[in-house]
Structures are given as structure tokens and as C-alpha cells.
Copies of this chain bind each other. A is one copy, B any other.
Amino acid sequence: MDPIVGRMTLKEWVAVESDSVQPVLHLRRELLRMTGLAADRLRNLGAHVDLVDAGFQQLPDGQSLPIPPIILAELGNDPKKPTVCFYGHLDVQPARQEDGWVTDPHTLTEVDGKLYGRGTTDNKGPVLAWINAVSTFRALDEDLPVNVKFVIEGMEEAGSLALEELVQKEKAGFFSSVDYIVISDNLWISRRTPALTCGTRGNSYFMVEVKCRDQDFHSGTFGGILNEPMADLVALLGSLVDSSGRILIPGIYDHVAPVTEEEKRTYEAIDLDLEEYRNSSQVKKFLFHTKEELLMHLWRYPSLSIHGIEGAFHEPGAKTVIPGRVIGKFSIRLVPHMNISVVEKQVKQHLDYIFSKRNSSNQMTVSMTLGLHPWVANIRDNQYLAAKRAIKTVFGTEPDMIRDGSTIPIAKIFQDTIQKSVMMLPLGAVDDGEHSQKEKINRWNYIEGSKLFAAFFLEMAKLH
């Protein structure tokens, strides 16, 4: 492996603003360019690369945007070796310097061993670490110990549009020879101890629009005689969760799996220094004060977050406007055994009820724009054992066996469709700040992570 080359490519990849969240054409073009760069890199390794057309994304306003093609690549097809398939994504969350970034989000910048930039940890860095692992064997002129496949998409941050369809379609094709799926799209729970992830929460994303008219109003000329959409919206959003973090939507906890004594013990085994976690998170105080409570509320209980409002005044300064039409955005992280369509119904019923109580003359529309299932792994699979051994080899320690509070929907899709073992093997540290204005990957994690993947290939070959 040549870490210098690896780092230079990460710099090149971070420089591409492959934002899939904002549905605008120039960003979609960057996504297509990013896909091309990754395909070229894989071809240079000697992989056979297919760029599978993924069609178009239909926007609510009637327009459509191209979805970047999904990369299906393979290296080796020796029937005596196990076939390991790596999933990753090339798209990123929006990032602008003025959002509060200290460094340019699209210029990889190293400070004290931290490589800052949008996508460094989520998920361009891990994709490249996997590529680095493969290229190590190539550089040493050694045979790859496993057959390697890649599924790399460009719409993960926008709900992995088109991916599920592709997996279904390729179930008997590309995926038929796959034995194991590995995903590296989450983080450790510590800054130094590696982790293996055996569950993730799902997510349901809601938009609630309140409309009086399309144009805004002057608050002097109309203030006092209107049901103002913002007043309706803050009442609706304010009805969702209380100040202790408890979701107030009736019935929402009905299907949450009860906590068993055995499960409780798994939280106790996790090495989490609360003080360090609090410090690295830069949070004065969490809602819960024991390790077990904290982990359960991150991993196995649902949570509701309000993300923002579209259509209201959002810039610095003072504008005396009554927004005419506003859209509140919130999402609920789902856990076993919550059902997406039940949650959708509960949310809509609740908002309908709150809105009807206000007797407002505005129009309210609620839509669920994303619904992603939670996922739980089978940790008795061979690849979990191989990964544990590889971690021991590279890091000299046992991994934390963790869940992840965020959603990697494809885990559940792979598990349900291909019915092969899915493993999540993170390589980023807890303070990497995915989605935030300080996203980074540590130089150490990036290089050791590349080694970990190479070691994992060797362990897989031994176990097979």
C-alpha cells in the first residue's frame, strides 16, 4: 500500500462537491464526475467495472435529475476463495464554508494528524481504504486471498435511491457469488478502540408544510389578522418531543422491542469513558448520565430530531416578513420492531389532531419522504470472527461490539434480499463529525484502517 498515493486520491475525491442532498443539476454533475473518478481508480487496480444506469430522481416540483450510475466492480472469481463484497458511497452531505467550517470543506486539510474535509469519514475515506487494501496485494505482486466485489453508489445521503432495485435485479447475477457483505459507513464509539457494529437504527423523514399563500407578507401590513403559517408550524413541531427527549406521538413506543437482561449486559461491557465522550462531543450535558442509558437511547430507542424550516427567513439580520408557506422537517430514528408505515400513520394522525385543535385557516400537508428500516446483524457469522482477529492483529485489542444510531439502510436491504451475512466494520473515530462542519478522518485511522481491511482478507481466506 502506498499511503501517500492514497492520501493524494482522498484529496482529489474530497475536492469534488458530490452533494446528493440538494437536488440541483450542477451538484448532480459533480456526483457523476465523482462516480467516474472512482470507476477509473478501480479499473487501474485491474477490476472489471460496470456502471449501471440508475435512471432519474423525480422531484416534488415535477422536474427530474439524473441519478449517478451505480458501480459494480469485481477482482477475481476463484471458486475456491470466499467472495467478499464491499459497499460504500461517494455522495456527501451539503457543506459550505459559511456554515461554520474552519477549513474549506472541499479542500483536504491536515491539522495535527486530522484530515479535515466533507466526505473524509463519510464515506470517501473508507471507500479508499478498501481500495488501498486491494492495491497493497497488487503492489506486492501477491495474489488476493479473497475474491473482491464493490458496490459503490452516489445517493446514500438522499436515501439510496435506485440501489434496492439494483440489488433485487442483480440478486441472481452480480450478487449470486457473494458470500459476505462489508459496510464501513459508521464510526467507532471511542477515539482509540476499534469497533464492530451489529445493528443500526432506521429513519423516517417527514415534511410538514403549512401554507397560507405562496407569497410572503409584510408583518406590519398583515400582522394581527392572519393565522400565520410559522405560528402553526412551531406549534406542530413543538408537539413532537418533550424536553426530556421523549417522543409525544401517541403509540410511537408501542412496537419498540423490550430490553432483556442479556441485552443490558452487552451495554455494560462497552468501554465508554463518559467524560471523554462528552468532551469529544463538545456537549455540556447529555439527557442521560449512565453509560447504559446513553447507549440505549442512541441505539435501541427511537429519537426525534427537528432539522429546520424551509421557506422562512433564515439569513443573518432582521427581516420583517410573515412567511406565506413554510415546510418543517423532522425525522424519527427507528428501532426494532417499529414498522415504517405504522409510524407514518401515527405521525400523520398526531399532526392532524394538533393542527385541527388550532382551528387554523391554513392548509397543512404532511409527507414522509424517506422510510428506512432498522437492521440487526448475526454476530455468529464467520466474517465477524475474521474481523475480530484482524482487529487483534492490527490494533492489538478486542473490538467494542456496538450498534449505531444512524441509518445505513443498505444493510437491511442486503440482508433481506441476498440473505448473506452483512457486517459493519467502521474505521473512523467517534469524533470524526460526519455531517457536521468539522468532518475529518484521522491520518492514523485512515492508514490503520487500510491495513485492517488487508488483514481481514487474509483472515477470511483462513476461515473459509
Q: Which residues in B have their C-beta under 8 angstroms from that of A313?
A: 307-308, 310, 329
Q: Which residues in B have their C-beta under 8 angstroms from that of A77?
A: none
**A81 in contact (CB, < 8 A):** no
**A22 in contact (CB, < 8 A):** yes
Give 1 or 0 for each of A297-335: 1 = CB within 8 Å of chain B CB.
110011111111110111111111111100001010100
Q: Is the CB of A333 within 8 A of B283?
A: no
Interface residues of A in 313-367 (CB under 8 A from B): 313-324, 329, 331, 333, 357-361
**A79 in contact (CB, < 8 A):** no
User: CA A316 – CA B434 in complex, angstroms?
Assistant: 20
Q: Is the CB of B307 within 8 A of A215?
A: no
Interface residues of A in 14-35 (CB under 8 A from B): 21-23
**A254 in contact (CB, < 8 A):** no
Q: Is the CB of B238 within 8 A of A243?
A: no
The verdict on A319 contacting B219 (CB below 8 Å), with A224-B245, A329-B313 known, is no
Q: Is the CB of A201 within 8 A of B220?
A: yes
Q: Is the CB of A282 within 8 A of B94?
A: no
Q: Which residues in B have their C-beta under 8 angstroms from that of A172?
A: none
The verdict on A226 contacting B287 (CB below 8 Å), with A220-B333, A358-B243 known, is yes
Q: Looking across the interface, which residue of chain B has its beta carbon closest to that of A434?
A: B218
Q: Is the CB of B22 within 8 A of A321?
A: no
Q: Which residues in B have their C-beta under 8 angstroms from that of A411?
A: none
Kindly name the residue among A158, A308, A433 whose own CB sees the greatest number of chain B CB atoms within 10 A.
A308
**A435 in contact (CB, < 8 A):** yes
Q: Is the CB of B312 within 8 A of A230?
A: no
User: CA A283 – CA B221 in complex, angstroms?
Assistant: 13
Partner of A369, one of B286, B318, B361, B369: B318
Give 1 or 0 for each of A190-220: 1 = CB within 8 Å of chain B CB.
0000000000110101010000111111111
**A137 in contact (CB, < 8 A):** no
Task: Determine how many copies of this chain the complex contains.
Answer: 2
**A184 in contact (CB, < 8 A):** no
User: CA A433 – CA B215 in complex, angstroms?
Assistant: 9
Q: Is the CB of A318 within 8 A of B281?
A: no
The verdict on A232 contacting B226 (CB below 8 Å), with A307-B322, A438-B215 known, is no
- Which of A386-394, A402-410, A449-457 has 4 or more CB atoms under 8 Å from chain B? A402-410
The verdict on A437 contacting B216 (CB below 8 Å), with A235-B243, A298-B224 known, is yes
Task: Give A160 Cβ to nearest chain B Cβ, in Å.
Answer: 13
**A47 in contact (CB, < 8 A):** no
**A91 in contact (CB, < 8 A):** no
The verdict on A213 contacting B283 (CB below 8 Å), with A301-B224, A313-B329, A359-B243 known, is yes
Known: A21-B319, A94-B319. 16 other contacts (CB 8 A): A205-B318, A216-B437, A217-B436, A219-B307, A219-B406, A222-B281, A223-B405, A224-B245, A230-B308, A231-B238, A232-B243, A308-B321, A312-B314, A319-B435, A320-B406, A320-B435
**Top 5 closest pairs, chain A to chain B, by CB:** A220-B406, A308-B313, A224-B303, A308-B312, A285-B361
The interface of chain A, by Cβ under 8 A from chain B, is 21-23, 93-94, 99-100, 158-159, 187, 200-201, 203, 205, 207, 212-228, 230-232, 234-235, 237-238, 240-241, 243, 245, 281-288, 294, 297-298, 301-310, 312-324, 329, 331, 333, 357-361, 369-370, 404-407, 433-438
Selected A-B contacts with CB under 8 Å, 29 pairs? A22-B316, A94-B319, A207-B318, A214-B437, A215-B436, A216-B435, A216-B436, A219-B303, A219-B333, A220-B406, A221-B405, A223-B333, A225-B294, A226-B286, A227-B245, A232-B243, A234-B237, A234-B238, A237-B238, A238-B238, A284-B361, A305-B320, A305-B322, A307-B318, A307-B321, A308-B321, A313-B329, A318-B369, A320-B331
